[in-house]
Structure 1
Amino acid sequence: METAPRPPPRPRGQGARRGPPSCPGLRGGRGAAAGRRHPGPAPLPVPGAREGAAVGAAPGGVRERRAPLGRRRRFRRSRRCRPGGSQSRARLSRRRRCLRPVPAARGCRRRPRREPPREPGRGEEPRRVWLGARRGRTYCSSVIADPHLTASRSPGKMASSRLPIFLALAFSSLSFVLSHSNRVMWFQDFFPPNMCPINAKANTFYGIMFDAGSTGTRIHIYTFVQKSPENLPELEGEIFESVKPGLSAYADQPEKGAETVKRLLDMAIDAVPPHLWKKTPVVLKATAGLRLLSEEKAQALLLEVREVFEESPFLVPEDSVSIMDGSYEGILAWITVNFLTGQLSGQSQHTVGTLDLGGASTQITFLPRFEETLKEAPGDFLTSFEMFNSTYKLYTHSYLGFGLKAARLAILGALDMEAVDGQMFRSSCLPKQLEAEWHFGGVKYQYGGNKEGETGFKPCYLEVLKVVKGKLHQPNEIRGSSFYAFSYYYDRAVDTNLIDYEQGGVLEVKDFEIKAKEVCDNMEKYNSASPFLCMDLTYITALLKEGFGFRDNTLLQLTKKVNNIETSWTLGATFHLLQSLGLTY
């Protein structure tokens, strides 16, 4: 079989450096025949190039850098990178060595490309070049156009040029934080809450409530968040502080009394963000302390406090400073407890009642479930109010003169009598050998035990019954209900180790009776405690059983805090205030 004759050898020095004939400007190559057998790809249009411009010229007159001559190494590329589908390796090689600056497809993904190892020249700049598309994917490569730009943007020089910018930003941020009036709140001013997409629909608001009691003045700063009108406000936190003595101690110096309120109010200015000051109401409600003062002295104190509020940046309602009614205090305590226990969500009617035993009065409040209770209750014992898009009709009443300290005077027989110097009030609820003085309501009383009479639980209970029995209304519904009890109910249970001071506890009504018997029949054993301990426990037992009509097994939840929030009427008062002012959804 004849074989084709081999072509004559090429003379040395001619065509040693090969390049595709389709690449103008490169010397040598495989000759005209090779160029005809493997024509190079048609030049791609260059955006902005003038008609008749030289092929391979970059836009703006910058010429394309050609591949170095004499490179015999060939580069493989998968089919998906080929512009027209399947191409011969020779065509791809020529394509690779004769790249033209063309616009890359939008959004194309960079793919690594193997280039002949070389050092970048002056004025070279990376360009993105279309290499092909397959199966919906577009690939890009890079060529060198301006070596001057590439050489000037070395990593070391770029980092050194950006360092002063970073230092300037860091210095300005530090200066902003240090110069801010409130370094704790600077972030809220720099990024206001309404810029945060998470809290974009949440309504954040604050409420400031002062409790002006007889022993001290307390401030409660509450933070609430309400995500939508359908949801109840959520209590995010409480800030609490107090000062002593109470406002009533400054009856003759109202300016000094108002100064104590101003010191507490300054703390609220730091706690509430400035952009919410005008939407944050501030209110002071006085309780028993100011009730004991004359009308003239009490009003003088309230006027001074009102002036302090007016000078503050907060929202001051019309009735911002007042003396609170006793029955209103019971309603607010009921709102506080049921909100903290989650009983006010939706249309829930499974609420708990509240029992509050103060010094001069006692309150009972609950939500009746039976029509019989509503019919039998006296007219002034029922109160309706609307809160959280629901209407509640409560059974509530405050019994003035049935507080723990007022009951002591009634048991001693000194409640309706004027104390006379040298007059001794005695009771079988006190130790026989006891003789002492007691100040209450600005009056000094002398009291002692029955030296010749009988002492102990039985005679003491008979004395207490005269004060309690038949004096209070007894709704039948409460016998099987559960109640939260606080104030002196809580204090006397702690004094006798019935509950823990921090945690509180659950007791039955009969637990007070058992402890009263133990204390009253062994008064000598409890000499270090209050001399009124036997009388107080006996009175609580008679008040619950004979006064309100609770059963022995009725459960009482005694606590000072629920979810780490004090069970005070102040929270309920703040809720009611915010809703009445339309600050909630």
Structure 2
Amino acid sequence: MAKSGLTRTCLLSLFVLLFVKFCVSDTSLLNRKAAPAGNNQEASGDDSRYVIVFDAGPAIGVRIFKFDENGKVLRINGGLEVFHVVPEALSSYVENPAAVASVLAQLLEKALDAVPSHLQPETPVIFGANDELFLMAEDKYEKILGVIRDFLSKSPLLYKPEWVNILPAAKEGAYVWDTINYLMGNLVGDYSNTVAVLTQESASMQVAYAVSVKAAANAPKFPNGEEYITAHQIQSNNYYLYSHGYFPYGAYSVRTEILKYTNDSYSYCVTSGYDEQLNYYGEIYNVRASPTGSSYEKCRANVLKALNVNATCYVHNCTFDGAWNGGGGAGIEKIYLTNGFHNTGADVSIVNGSNTSTDLKILEYEKVAKVSCAAKSPEEAHNLFPGVPLFELPYLCMDLVYIYAVLVDGFGIDPTKVVTAINAVQYGGTSMDVQWAFGAALELVSSKHTKIWDVPNVFSS
């Protein structure tokens, strides 16, 4: 008994000695666990969540974002995002879809460098293609998307086949709304604190704004089952968002719609002296100026026909092409114009391109449209608007008339209303370009689902 008690005492003493020695020798480990987590914490146990978004518009790019466990954006490599781009359009791979994998490999390598290796398996990767791809034959764009799905399925990232798709225009508009309102700090209370967003992309135009709970509950039903209003959760804030995409009414595709009203020979919207052909996704259009030159009034008449302002409206309060306007309300009192609206304004100097945003009256677009349409040649147009790229000059009268007409005649906005043209948002001492990718990432990490991989199709309308 004495020997047994002694043995137990010795073993206990030895255990205590070893335990103390372990604790003393590994105080750094204990200190790391006790220390508060910083924004750039990347050790095991890091609660940060990364999202990688491939954005295929006019170019193919990848954006990497970092959030905390509550969905707040964190700095990554000193900025709000890591961004890499290859100046090639996804549509350029239509004849050789397999070749797009090499471009993705370049971008994916850079993306993985920004994400800690132990977090990569739970980092979702999204690929959204601009809806301009819808202008291709379905079998052609599906082959490209198939290559992309196959490539990303072999990456170390969290992947779902449905996360690779052509982005619906209405969803893109909603994501841009998310981006602007989150970065401006508007998503902290009532929907009336938010701003409306009108976005002009290459193939489509989008509008998005928040509505009241009552307006959402009373939204009309439509024969085709289209849902204009969807519930949105950003962090712990809930909103009902009206969003709609107008296809093909984007900056480039709408030109072909307007050119259909050319009297089979010329257009009053084309800058005087121009005579060429436009090949847009296999369709050939004559881009020929009228012998008497471009005309603001005659061009506007053609633009209104292209807008289909007299289309059948199944409910009260339509905009154009038979689309419901959402009913209005406090969420559309402040209007922000992005992308094509901003860029065209900057080209003709009614928007200050040196600033991230400019307040202006809509009628400013009409004023420069009348000047542009009165130009007697592309050379004169260039002298009047030296900031406009030369390849855009033949369409300048058309583009400006369209912007004014769609805002005033299409959306019914008072031409004297002051709106804000914006291309970037200031946040925490830095800025982020206005784009849909951040909104998509933000919605993903704001989901009520506890795990990102439980989130349904992020591209659903």
Q: CA deviation at 1:531?
A: 0.9
Name the counterpart of 1:388. 235
1:212 matched to which residue of 2?
Answer: 56
Matched, 1:526 2:369: no
Corresponding residue SS for 1:464: helix
Equivalent residue, structure 1, for 2:351: 499
Structure 1 residue 198 displacement after superposition: 4.2
CA spacing shift, 1:523–1:391, aligned 2, 3 Å: farther
- Please state whether the residue corresponding to 2:291 is helix, strand or coil: coil
Match of 1:40 in 2: none
Residues 430 and 343 of structure 1: is their aligned pair in 2 closer, same or farther, counting only changes over 3 Å? Answer: same
3-state SS in 2 of match to 1:367: strand
What does residue 567 of structure 1 align with? 434
The answer to whether residue 378 in structure 2 is matched with residue 535 in structure 1 is: no
Is 1:361 matched with 2:361? no
The 5-angstrom pairing of residues 132-171 of structure 1 reads none
Q: 1:518 and 1:193 mapped to 2: Cα distance? A: 66
1:470 matches 2:325: no
Asked whether 1:485 is paired with 2:324, we answer: no
Are residues 1:436 and 2:276 paired? yes
Q: Paired residue for 2:413?
A: 550
Amino-acid identity (%): 26
Number of residue pairs matched by the alignment: 382
- 1:311-460 aligned within 5 A: 311-346=154-189, 349-369=192-212, 371=214, 375=218, 379=222, 380-413=227-260, 425-452=265-292, 455-460=294-299
- What is the distance in 2 between the residues matched to 1:443 and 1:425? 16
| SS of aligned partner of 2:404 | helix
Q: Is the 8 A contact 2:271 2:395 kept in 1?
A: no
Q: Is the 8 A contact 1:479 1:549 kept in 2?
A: no
Q: Give the Cα–Cα distance (whole angstroms) in 1 for the partners of residues 109 and 328 of structure 2.
A: 49
| Residues 1:195 and 1:342: Cα distance change in structure 2 (over 3 Å) | same
Task: Tell me what 1:582 maps to.
Answer: 450
Give the drift of 1:388. 2.0
Q: Which runs of 5+ in 1 are unaligned?
A: 1-189, 416-422
Alignment partners' CA distance in 2, 1:495 and 1:207: 34
- 1:404 Cα deviation from its structure 2 partner: 2.8
Distance across 1 between alignment mates of 2:158 and 2:332: 44
Select 2:99's aligned residue among 256, 259, 264.
Answer: 256
Equivalent position of 1:221 in the other structure: 64
CA distance in structure 2 between the aligned counterparts of 1:291 and 1:493, rounded to whole angstroms = 27
- Relative to total residues, which structure has the larger helix share, 1 or 2? 2
Cα RMSD between the aligned structures?
A: 3.0
Q: 1:326 to 1:556 in 2, by over 3 A?
A: same
Matching residue of 2:122: 279
Distance 1:292 1:461, change over 3 A: closer
Distance, in Å, in 1 between the alignment partners of 2:166 and 2:373 is 38
Task: Name which of structure 1's ranges 476-485 and 355-364 shifts more when overlaid on structure 2.
Answer: 476-485
SS at match of 1:532: helix
> Match of 1:218, as an amino acid?
G
Secondary structure of the residue aligned to 1:333 is helix
Cα 1:438/1:521, change in 2 over 3 Å:
same
Shift in alpha-carbon separation, 1:249–1:480, aligned structure 2, 3 A = closer
Structure 1's 408 and 275: CA in aligned 2 closer, same or farther, altered over 3 A? same
Does the 8 Å CA contact 2:94/2:140 hold for their aligned counterparts? yes
**Cα distance, 1:478 vs structure 2:** 7.5
Q: Is the 8 A contact 1:424 1:447 kept in 2?
A: no
SS in 2 for 1:404: coil
Larger radius of gyration: 1
8 A Cα contact 2:187 2:234, kept in partner: no
Query: Any residues of structure 2 matched to 1:76-87 within 5 Å, and which?
Result: none
The answer as to whether partners of 1:216 and 1:242 remain within 8 angstroms in 2 is yes
Distance (Å, rounded) in 1 between the aligned partners of 2:410 and 2:354:
29
SS state at 1:531 partner: helix
| 1:365–1:395 Cα contact (<8 Å) kept | yes
Q: Does 1:291 align with 2:145?
A: no
Unaligned runs of 5+ in 2: 1-28, 312-319, 453-461
Determine the C-alpha separation between the residues in 1 that align with 2:30 and 2:150: 34
Change (3 A) 1:367 1:238: same
Q: Take 1:264 and 1:414, find their aligned partners in 2: how far apart are those partners?
A: 42
* Cα contact 2:131–2:168 (8 A) shared by 1: no
For residues 245 and 566 of structure 1, the distance between their equivalents in structure 2, rounded to whole angstroms, comes to 19
Partners of 1:431 and 1:456 in 2: CA distance: 9
SS at match of 2:68: strand
**CA-CA distance at 1:260 after TM superposition:** 0.6
Matched residue, 1:109: none
Q: Which has the higher contact order (CA 8 A, sep 6+)?
A: 2
Contact between 1:335 and 1:572, CA under 8 Å: does it hold in 2? yes
What displacement does 1:424 show? 5.5
Distance in structure 2 (CA, Å) of the matches to 1:561 and 1:535: 26
355 and 251 in structure 1: CA distance in 2 versus 1, 3 angstrom threshold: same
Give, as a single letter, the amino acid of the residue that structure 2 aligns with 1:298. Y
Task: Kindly state the Cα deviation for residue 303 of structure 1 after the two structures are TM-superposed.
Answer: 2.6
The letter for the 1-side match of 2:50 is: Y
Name the CA distance, whole Å, in 2 between partners of 1:255 and 1:360. 25
Following superposition, the deviation at residue 315 of structure 1 comes to 1.6
SS in 2 for 1:383: strand
Deviation at 1:294, TM superposition (A): 2.8
The amino acid of 1:221's aligned partner reads I
Displacement of 1:527? 4.2
